[in-house]
Amino acid sequence: ILIDAHMDEVGFIISHIEENGMLRVIPLGGIDPKLFYGQRLTIWGKKRIEATVAAIPPHISDKNSPNITSVEDCLIDTGINIKKIKEIVSVGDQVTFSTECVIDNNRILSKSLDGRRGVYVLLQTIKKVAKKNLKCNLFASASVQEEMGLRGARIINSRVNPDFSIALEGTVSNDLPGVPLHKKLAKLGDGPEIRISDKY
């Protein structure tokens, strides 16, 4: 039996430094451009830099334009001049969303919880079964590049060649106003969702 959880997250790579010091990125993983504008980012260069995704202010934008700017065409603004930014940032540096993990009121508010919850459950599972006499070979893996098309899990699966695999993954809670009843598969507070099918 193979139990796998992924420990990567969606992110970006610096792809270009403009003459005015602004940056461009390419995405790593599936990112909806509509959710990208105005976001806070952390650039992991020679030192950590906080930045924001530049967006055209609503009072000077074309409200009737249906066009959505791609992630690759957005500008990343650090507010640092070109000379200084080139000392700190290079093409190829990693970029992540900049959010603080908040734990309060019986909740966790953080980025990348889909993978982090899975890794936590994986570790707790290992603790519980470590001293038991299992009647199978149990493999546990914390894979990478899930956000890039399940690459890590595919490699692990081909190496282990298990009879049965369990993928630990977070999903969305669909108990929202306006969602039809037949689509409310996962609900907040109702425990885990066990899927028998996925789009892949």
Which residues are the active-site residues?
146
Q: Measuring CA to CA, which residue among 159, 149, 160 is closest to residue 199?
A: 149
Provide the 10 A C-beta neighbour count for residue 64: 5
Q: Which secondary structure element, helix H or strand E, spans residue 97, and what is its range?
A: strand 94-97
Q: Can you say whether residue 105 is alpha, beta or left, with left for phi > 0 and alpha for psi between -120 and 50 degrees?
A: left
Q: Which amino acid is at 200?
A: Y
Q: Measuring CA to CA, which residue among 60, 46, 9, 48 is closest to residue 30?
A: 9
Q: Measuring CA to CA, which residue among 175, 119, 174 is closest to residue 142?
A: 119
DSSP letter for each residue of 20-88: TS-EEEEEES---GGGTTT-EEEEESSSEEEEEE----GGGS-TT------GGGPPEE----HHHHHHH
Name, in order, each residue with C-beta under 8 angstroms of 58's C-beta and a sequence gap of 6 or more: none
